[in-house]
Structure formats: C-alpha cells, structure tokens
Chains A and B, each alone.
Chain A
Amino acid sequence: MSSSINDGALSQWQLIQRRFRRHKLAVGSLFVLGFLYLLGLLAEFVAPYEPDQRHVAYPYAPPQALRLSIEHGLHARALVPHTDPVTFRKSYTESATPVQLAFFAKGEPARLLGVLPIERRLLGIDRTRTTAQEPTFFLLGADKYGRDIFSRAVHGARVSLSVGLVGIVLTFVLGMVIGGVSGYVGGRTDNLIQRGIEILQAFPQLPLWIALAAVLPGDWSALKVYFAITLLLGLLNWTGLARVVRGKILALREEDYAVAARLLGAGHARVLFRHLMPGFISHIIVALTLSVPGMILGETALSFLGLGLRPPIVSWGVMLQDCLDVKAVSFYPWLLMPVGFIVSVVLCFNFLGDGLRDAADPYGN
C-alpha cells in the first residue's frame, strides 16, 4: 500500500484542507475576512452610532484614542472644538475630561439587520458615568457632518462586502452554464461562444460599468439600486469564469476515467456532474474568490463616482466621495480610512485565493 494508511482514507476535500492550512498567510486572511464580514453582519451592534447620525458641533473631528486608566477605566478624552478666527478652520484639542466607555453600553434603539431590536452596543459611551457635556467618541474621527467614520465604515462593510458575494452568485451560474456548454458540446457552438466572450472582454470594463450604471433611473429605492449594481457587476464578470470552466472541461473530458464513465453507460448529465465537475470545482472556487475583489472595487469605483449606490446607503465607495475634496483630505487625513479597509479586504481575498489555488492541485506534492 503506497503512502501512509491515513492518507488513503482522506477525500480530496480533506487533502485540500490539509494543504490549505499550511499557507499561514491564506489562513490568516481567511480569519481577517471572517472577522470583517462578522463586523458587517452585526453592524448595528458594533457601531457606536447610527451611520447618518450627525454631530453638527464636531465636523472633521479627529480620531479619539482609546485609553485605559485605573481611575477612569476604559475611556477617551473629550474633544474641545476651536475655530480659528482667521481661516475659520475647525480644530480640536483633547480636554482632560474623560468620556467613559463601556462594553455593551446602552445606545439608541435600533434593529439588527432591520429585524432584531437591540439597545446595547458593543462599545459605546457609558452615559451613566460620563460627566462631559455632549460626549463624543469617534474611534476613527468624524466627517464633514460630524458623522462617526467608524460607524459608517462598519455599516459600509456590510454593503461593500456583500455586493461581492451576491455578484458572485450570478457570475457562478452564468460562468458554469455557458462555459460548461462551450466545453462539453465543443465544435461550432464552442467557437461561437468563445468569440462572443472575446468581444465582451474587449470592452473596457469601467466605462462599460459606468455607462450601464448611468442608465439606472434616479428615482429607484436604495435597495433596488443595490441589487441592480450587484446584477451589473455579476453580469459582466462571468466571462473569466466561463473560460476557466471551458478549459477544464475540455481537458478533463478526454481523461480515461471520463471515457470509462461513458463506456459504462453514464449519460451526459452524470458524466458532467459526477465526473467532470468535481475535477474543477476547486478551480472554480479559486476563480470566484479572486474575482470578488474586482467586484468590490467595481462597486467602490461606481459609488465614488456617484453612479453606484447613493445615500442614505453607506458603502465604502460612498464614503470615499467625501475624499474628493483634496483640501479636506490634506487637513483631515482620517477621511481616507475606508481606503485602509478596502486595501485590506482586497489583499486578503487575493491571499486567500492564492492559498486555495495552491491547495487545490490534487496531485501537487
């Protein structure tokens, strides 16, 4: 019996998992992404403030550091606003007055995911102990309207991260079906479909997105726009996957075990789903994983340009619209926080995809 006895009992999936676990970077990325998605999911709970809650007295407030002291416990220093008499620029200093923070502090009533009513927040101002007037806690600073960037980022995470996932479903379906038909049937059909894909891929992606997004009616509800955007992104993204699927099917179709299945009397469906597909499902997962960042960036770009999601929906792209004001960004660099999130997410997906791709090769040593 070749190779260790334990190895033989492991299915392909288990072997893949084992190999994946060796990629520390990919595993780390998986955890980071999982964490971010969790944040997005529990946005109402995690964010201290509502995303559109304005604090008119604190525009462009800087980030307030979390402090821990024996006297006050977990707290932040209250901000004192100053206005420069000449330039009318707002600036802030931290006063000694502590703003008491607590875990599971009481906040405004909200509904988690729009359904579950909650009152507590993960981390918020403990109003029972705070002495400062109009206490504020901006973990990542505030924007032009005094809206907490951290809260907005967390709510934005929900939107930006889910756009990628929903778009993936469409990509998956279209890619599998069209690529599958192209590879399995072959011949003229294959030729036609491939040329069609090439024509589609020849279009510059961003301008195409922009053109289609610009056609969206302005009076659509925010949710409708959201789904329309994800639809759009998924619709134009399937060509890459279709090619991967077609290539794999062409290669695997002539493998002896596929021929053997046909000779056993297996019908086309059985050959396709039982024999061919499992051979490349891992490659599909990799291709999908690597296309998520593309879609997240697409949504970000569209929203940034004002053509994608619109207020009151918050997404990272929408938040970046505030960064169009270069002067503001140079004075208040924390406005660029969403960029940090986006870069992290894109990097993590890429590392994850790389790790999956390396792990998915069934006969790799």
Chain B
Amino acid sequence: MTLDRVVLQVEDLRTSFFTDEGELRAVDGAGFTVRAGRTLAVVGESGCGKSVTAHSILRLVNRPGRIVGGRALLHPDGEEALDLLALPDNSPQLYRARGGLAAMIFQEPQAALSPVHTIGNQVCEAILLHQRVTRHEAEARALEMLQKVGIREPQARLQQYPHELSGGMRQRVVIAMALVCRPLLLIADEPTTALDVTLQAQVLELLKQLQAELGTAIMLITHDLAVVAQVADEVVVMYLGRIVERAPVRALMAQPRHPYTQGLLASRPALRGPRVKRLPSIEGGVPALSAIPPGCPFHPRCPHARPGVCDQGPPPPLRTLAEGHDVACLRAEEIVHVQP
C-alpha cells in the first residue's frame, strides 16, 4: 500500500438528530481526508460531534439521528471509490465495507466483546465474515494477529473468555479483531480514555506500530490533546458540529490559529516548565445543540470576538491560512496569540 495515498475522503458530512426540540445538527458540514499509514486525530469536547462523525462514516447512526448529507469516499487499492453514505442499508457492499475495508474500535473493550464467546471464536468470526477461508486457516490468522498485538501465549488465550483477561489485554484483542482483515481504515473512538495512563501509552504505541507495519490509515477520536500530540499526523478540531481548525499536528500545536484551539491548548497544565498560579481557561460553557449562537458559534466565549462581525451572519467557513492549515475564523489573520 502506498503511503500517503488518500484512503478516506469525507466531504460536507451532515448528520442531524430529530427530537422534540427540533433538528439538532450534531455534525454540520465536516470535511477531511485520511491517508494510508497516517493518523488523523479528531479532537473536541463533549457535544462537538466527533463521535457522531465516526459513527456516520460507518453508517452506525440510529434513530432519531439521520445522515442528511455529504459523502464519505473510501478508496480501496486498485478499485473504484466507494461512497459509504450512498450505499443502501443492509446491502452486501456495506457489510463488506464494515469490518473488511473500514473497522472501528470503541472506548469500552468490555462492551465490544461478547462475554459468552471465547476470544478465538470472536477473532475468527471477524475473519470468516470477510474472507473465504477455512476455519483452520482462520485460526492460524487469528493466532498470528494476537501475537502481533503483543498478547503473550496466544494459543492459550484463544480458549479463554473476555472476563479472564485484563482491561489492557481486552483492548488489544479488540484491536486484533479490527485489524485482522487488514482494513484500509481504522476508526478508533476514544480507545484509551477508559485505560490507565501506563496502559494508554502501550496501546497508543501498539497502534503506531501496527500502522507502520500494515499501512493502515487511522482516524483517532479523542478529547485529549496530549494524546494527539503523541500519535497524530494531522488534526481536526471540532466545535458544535463544525470543524474549526484543520492542520498538521506540529503546526497546530506550535501555532494554533483558532481561538478555541488556543484556549484548549492553554488550559492544559504542563508537565514540565514553570508552574502557573491560575490556569488559563475558556470562559463559559459549551452551549446546547438546540441553542447554537448566531454567526460564529464560538463567539460568546471568544476573547477576540468583535461585535458586528463575529455575532452575525452564517458561521465562518473553513479557509486556508497557510500550507495545509485551515481555520474557520473571520479574524484569524489579525489575532496574535502568545502561548502561555
């Protein structure tokens, strides 16, 4: 697989939830690309729409939510591009894509594993659903994969049940299940949030390793900017369903251009360097989806908001400021930001 090749191209994705309060635009026009062998991090706080975005790509959004627009183009090697959002429900192509071309891992490994089936059973199921091999063959591949994810004594583990494994091992099994069919794309929805910090480091290291080996494109959903700094190549920051900044990781960390990103980075206390008395913080709280402010949705909390400009009209579009660095801010050029 050629590195840097575009594997997933999301254009103008829009997903809404239709509730008593009206249409809640959980994702309102998200667009980004994920490349082979590279990791795209989607960052944001609760309610920003990052999880909904991930679920939308794999068509896992249930009532009262519905994908109302956009395209999610998957580019399998040597094949025609596939728009995941246009595939009919329950079609064989969708089933082939899910798990075969694009896999997903979630936050809680317990919830992803069936408590009444053995590990071997579950990993083999992942293989047999997508590849025409014998049971024997499948077991061999399962064994190989478990070894690759760093599980010791994989032969013994095949017969064990999830509750006999530790949390860290369970997450490794889940990763094994996701990658055993060599998918083009792996979507990881907060895979380390529920893990202890030492386990988190191991799992992230493992993902990077497997990515290097298999050339998988990874889309990582997280709220932790430190994790992003560690593993991501490119970053997309979301707020209230819209992308507010999109940049390579170095550029974003060193020179965030959107006030929200700046605020997020500043509010994390550093592990090294001088200690501050008061943590810089973003004023106010995230508004509900049913009460999105007019104009730039961030303006009530933005220290640089200018009345008459930022509080009126449509939300600012995402525009390119520098090479590969896109920002949705009307005043981005004027704002001078000093890292605290």
Question: Which B residues lie within 8 Å of A4 (CB)?
Answer: 21, 288, 290
CA distance A2 to B288 in the complex (A): 5
Residues of A within 8 A of B290 (CB): 3-4
Within the assembled complex, what's the spacing in Å between the Cα atoms of A299 and B104?
57
The A/B interface has a contact count, at CB < 8 Å, of 10
Q: How large is the interface on B (under 10, 10 to 19, 20 to 34, 35 or more residues)?
A: under 10
Q: How far apart are the CA atoms of A64 and B288 in the complex, in Å?
A: 63
A1 located at the interface, meaning its Cβ lies under 8 Å from any Cβ of chain B in the complex? yes
Q: How long is the Cα–Cα vector from A2 to B285 in the complex, in angstroms?
A: 9
Contact string, A1-26, partner B, CB cutoff 8 A, digits 1/0? 11110000000000000000000000
* Contact residues in A for B291 (Cβ distance below 8 Å): 1
Report Cα–Cα, A86/B193, bound state, in Å: 90
Give the complex CA separation of A4 and B288 in angstroms.
Answer: 8
- Nearest to B19 among chain A residues (CB) is A365
Can you spell out 5 A-B residue pairs with CB atoms less than 8 angstroms apart? A1-B287, A1-B288, A3-B290, A4-B21, A4-B290
Task: Contacts A1-B285, A4-B21 known; list 5 others, CB within 8 Å.
Answer: A1-B287, A1-B291, A2-B288, A3-B290, A4-B288
Q: How distant is the Cα of A335 from the Cα of B174 in the complex, in angstroms?
A: 65
Shortest distance between the CB of A34 and any CB in chain B (Å): 27
Q: Inside 8 A of B288's CB, which chain A residues have their CB?
A: 1-4
Q: In the complex, how many angstroms separate the beta carbon of A233 from the nearest chain B beta carbon?
A: 41
Cα A3 to Cα B287 in complex, Å, equals: 9
Quote the shortest CB–CB distance from A282 to chain B (angstroms): 21
Chain B residues near A1: list those with CB within 8 A: 285, 287-288, 291
B271-312 near A? 1/0 per residue, CB < 8 Å: 000000000000001011011000000000000000000000
The distance in angstroms between the C-alpha atoms of A48 and B290, with both chains bound, is 58
Residues of B within 8 A of A3 (CB): 288, 290
Nearest residue, chain A, Cβ from B289:
A2
Q: How far is the CB of B249 from chain A (nearest CB, A)?
A: 31
Q: Which residues of B contact A2 (CB under 8 A)?
A: 288
Of the listed residues A2, A3, A4, the one surrounded by the most CB atoms of chain B closer than 10 A to its CB is A2
A2 to B47, CA, bound (A): 10
Q: Tell me the B7-23 residues at the A interface (CB within 8 Å).
A: 21
Chain B residue with Cβ nearest A3: B288
Identify the closest chain B residue to A22 (Cβ): B20
Q: Which B residues, 254 to 285, have Cβ-Cβ distances below 8 Å to chain A? A: 285
Q: What is the bound-complex CA distance between A2 and B289, given in angstroms?
A: 8
Q: Residues 69-102 of chain A: 1 if any B CB is under 8 Å from the residue's CB, otherwise 0?
A: 0000000000000000000000000000000000
A1 CA to B288 CA, complexed, in Å: 7
Q: How far is the CA of A2 from the CA of B290 in the complex (A)?
A: 9
Within 8 A of B (CB), among A1-57: 1-4
In this complex, what residue of B is CB-closest to A7? B21
In the A-B complex, the 3 residue pairs with the smallest Cβ-Cβ separation, listed nearest first, are A2-B288, A4-B21, A3-B288
Shortest distance in angstroms between A29's beta carbon and chain B's nearest beta carbon?
A: 23
Chain B residue at minimum C-beta to C-beta distance from A2: B288
CB distance from B292 to the nearest CB of A (A): 13
Give Cα distance in the complex from A182 to B290, angstroms.
Answer: 45
Q: How far is the CA of A223 from the CA of B63 in the complex (A)?
A: 55
Complex CA gap A235/B213 in Å reads: 70
Closest chain B residue to A5, Cβ basis: B291
Residues of A with C-beta under 8 A to B21: 4
Identify the closest chain A residue to B290 (Cβ). A4
CB-CB nearest in chain A for B21: A4
| Mask: chain B, 113-124; 1 = CB below 8 Å from A; 0 = not | 000000000000
B322 to A: closest C-beta gap in Å: 36
